[in-house]
Amino acid sequence: MIANTNNPLLTSAQEFLAESLRNLDRDRLRFAIVHAVTATELVLKERLARLNQALIYRNIDTTSPHKEPTVSLSALPRRLANLGIPLSSTQTQLIGDVAEWRHQIVHHTAAFDPTLARRQLQQLLDFLACFLRTELATPLETFLPKDLYKTSQHLLSDWQMAVAAARTSAADEGNVLSGVCPRCGAADVMCLRDVAAVHCHLCGASLYRCDSCDGCGRRTVMSYEPFLGENFCDDCIEAAGDQYIESLIDRARGK
């Protein structure tokens, strides 16, 4: 993932977007909404800041920017449109709806329909992914932590398009390996570049082909360079870690 340590708005947006996806995947809808709306607000302000930092403030003529509040989320679509970056009426309405849900969650008793809210929240996250890609030149595959790649593949249409593009890139290179990348979980995106060297066209990981895992016996791709002796695939290593943790828990419980 590309870090944005010199960009406070985008760094914060990364964190809130990641938390929204994690909470949505765990069916913690209210937390997902709060984090998604905050991420959206930060990303839209980042677009303004790239034109001029003063544009993120409610009063752009302020002489004390450190004391001036930033423009509200409800006012952001109009300010962007006035600067030649219009959002569609559907996108503006979507942002307004979900922002109202956040207001209900934080200040009142939430009264929205959870099924509708989840569907519209996914639409908002897709809008956010598209806006990052087109307006900020920041595609999700360079923005999200790798542990959220699999989650995004199930939830976001934008991510599915990124996977499709990676598959096309892999097919153009040739020597495509079947199976899923152990880092990002996408299928048909890996190419064999040497006897054992493998490259993933989605997450960019450098991987290794394993002719036979000493744990499960499968021919697979793994994150760790083979060496003389025992070689285990990512799945077997993860399973061993889980088993070890369970043994520690059992020991603590006196079993």
- The predicted structure's pLDDT at residue 35: 94
Report residue 79's pLDDT band, with 50, 70 and 90 as the boundaries: very high
pLDDT beyond 70 at 220: yes
Confidence band (pLDDT; 50, 70, 90) for 121?
confident
Pair of tokens at residue 249? 């828990």
Query: Rounded to an integer, what distance in angstroms lies between the CA atom of residue 153 and that of residue 174?
Result: 23
User: Within a 10 A sphere around the Cβ of 126, how many other Cβ atoms?
Assistant: 18
227 burial class (0-12, 13-18, 19+ CB within 10 angstroms)? exposed
- Which pLDDT belongs to residue 5? 42
Give the pLDDT confidence of 159-168 residue by residue, as tens digits.
778 788 889 9
Please determine, for residue 101, whether its predicted confidence score (pLDDT) is greater than 70: yes
**126, 122, 76: which is closest to 96 by C-alpha?**
76
pLDDT digits (tens, 9 = 90+) for 125-144: 888 988 998 999 998 888 88
User: What pLDDT score was predicted for residue 6?
Assistant: 64
Question: Whole-angstrom Cα distance, residue 253 to residue 247?
Answer: 10
Band (pLDDT 50/70/90 cuts) for residue 57 is very high
Quick: pLDDT tens for 148-185.
887 887 777 767 787 888 899 999 999 999 888 887 77
* pLDDT value for 246: 78
Residue ranges covered by each domain of the chain = 8-155, 175-252
**Cα atoms in the Cβ-side hemisphere of radius 13 Å centred on 42:** 17
pLDDT at residue number 229: 67
Residues 6+ apart with CB under 8 A from 117: 29, 33, 98, 101
| Contact yes or no for 219/210 (Cβ under 8 A) | yes
**56 HSE (CA, 13 A, CB side):** 18
Helix/strand/coil for 243: helix
CB atoms < 10 A from the CB of 25, how many? 15
The predicted model gives 58-70 an average pLDDT of 88
Residue position matching structure tokens 């406070």: 8
Using CA atoms, how far apart are residues 179 and 186, in angstroms rounded to an integer? 8
Classified as helix, coil or strand, 151 is helix
Is the pLDDT at 3 greater than 70? The verdict is no
Residue 47's pLDDT is 95
In angstroms, rounded to a whole number, what is the distance separating the alpha carbons of residues 139 and 164? 14
Label residue 192 by pLDDT band (50, 70, 90): very high
Identify the DSSP state of 68. S
Picking from 216, 173, 215, the residue whose alpha carbon sits closest to that of residue 197 is 173
pLDDT of residue 1: 40
Residues 2-17, mean pLDDT to the nearest whole number:
78
Mean of the per-residue pLDDT values of the chain: 85
More confident residue, 35 or 219: 35
At residue 228, does pLDDT exceed 70?
no
| Amino acid in the structure at residue 164 | A
* CA distance linking residue 241 with residue 117, whole number of Å: 37
